[in-house]
Chains A and B, each alone.
Chain A
Amino acid sequence: MNISISINGETVTRDVEPRTLLVHFIRDTPGLTGTHWGCDTSNCGACTVLMDGRALKSCTALAAMCEGHEIATVESLERDGELDPLQQGFHECHALQCGFCTPGMLMAARGLLDVNPDPTEEEIRVAISGNLCRCTGYKNIVAAVRWAAEHQEVAP
């Protein structure tokens, strides 16, 4: 079936089987491999993207179900060479080790900051509780999200 999905503001169209998962659609068609494909069981959260501004595990959604919705992947965070405050925060706070969970962590955190720009440490921990870091570096990730909250710049 022919599917059109808006990914990072661009409409991507492809003929796919109904069983195609969103994570594969994103990675295969526009080649946006920033969205990581991890456990495939909606546990690890490495594949987290935003759908209409809300975090979604893209391994547990059919591409067909996302037609007509706005998908944002980790590639949407950087704008004109400027890192998102979250990306900068991960850099400042050394919030990534192997980096595998990072795209999912960033998108889950983006989903949080968009509705709660000044979250407490506890709120951050809850927001990323569906994302596993196999290096167990949660402390720095939480610090990085706080850093981003304190350095949110107003978009020009």
Chain B
Amino acid sequence: MQTPAPFDYERATSLDGAIAALKAHEDARIVAGGHSLLPMMKLRLAQPSRLIDINDLTELEYIREEGDEVAIGALTRHVELLESELLAERFPLFRDAERVIADPTVRNRGTIGGSLCQADAAEDLSAVCAALKATVVMRGESGTRTVNMREFHLGPWMTAVGEGEIVTEIRLRVRPGHGSAHEKLERRAGDWAIAAASAALWLDGDTIADAGVALSAVGLTTIDLTRAEDLLRGARPGEELFAQVAAIAAEDCSPAADGRGDVAYKRHLAGVLTTRALRKATARALT
């Protein structure tokens, strides 16, 4: 039987209360969906002294447009991200990713805040948010601060969230000419990715004004393909360009061999999936 080691439990009734509880108890952890944390606790990979359950803080559950940004509350569940017409319209790669994250039952519980805070390199939304150059909003005792998604993950399972801080929101800037896509290959339904690629483009006429490309499951953290983004920026989308980007993707990732495939295969996949994501992103930007 797998059961976590003993811990104390409390249910937060306010965001400030949750922050105070985090401060007051050493090794306390926030639990939302719990679908990453509880399995880790069963395996003793995580052993918090106290869980602070924020599932009642429904004020953190929203997807809304605010000026030229879309704001997503940290407690928003995968199922809401999948079904949101606003997100599908503004950032179509979200629906691509959500269709293949775990399974519908898990998607009923898991949250975007939890997904990003897990800082698991094989997790999809981290690549999605990196490609979109999202901003992560955190709140602590002394107020609110923001961190660019590109600086949010400090290493495997390590984030920029400080002691006594909680991620409250993800912000995405809406810019014209956008198209995006997420491409993932998995061994079977609901499995972790063998590799996945997120691509986002912002076109100005027939030229790429800005681009974001990030890879999942082919390194110790989400891989931001900054070299590829530099190449894309200012260029015209097309097969020759995508082939160059694919070559960079294969080169700049650092996959490990495991049951899902060897290094050469995963590098190959990184290139292929990046190309597919760019093709789809371009087509979407042009429609």
Contacts and interface: CB of A to CB of B under 8 A. Distances in A.
Interface of A: 1, 17-21, 40-43, 45, 48, 54-57, 60-62, 64-65, 67, 108, 111, 126-127, 129-131
A48 B189 CA distance: 17
21 contacts: A17-B6, A19-B4, A19-B7, A21-B3, A40-B1, A40-B2, A41-B2, A42-B39, A48-B105, A54-B108, A57-B106, A60-B34, A60-B38, A62-B9, A64-B11, A65-B34, A65-B53, A65-B55, A111-B105, A129-B104, A131-B103
B102 interface: yes
Contacts of B105: 45, 48, 55-57, 108, 111, 130-131
Interface of B: 1-9, 11, 31, 34-35, 38-39, 42, 51, 53, 55, 79, 102-106, 108-109, 189-190
A68 to B, nearest CB: 8
B18 to A, nearest CB: 14
A57 to B, nearest CB: 6
How would you classify the secondary structure of chain B's contact residues: helix, strand, loop or mixed?
Answer: loop
B6 A40 contact: no
A137 to B, nearest CB: 16
B189 A60 contact: no
B184 to A, nearest CB: 14
A91 to B, nearest CB: 24
A133 B280 CA distance: 35
B8 A18 contact: yes
Given A18-B8, A60-B34, A131-B103, 5 more contacts: A18-B7, A60-B35, A62-B31, A62-B34, A65-B55
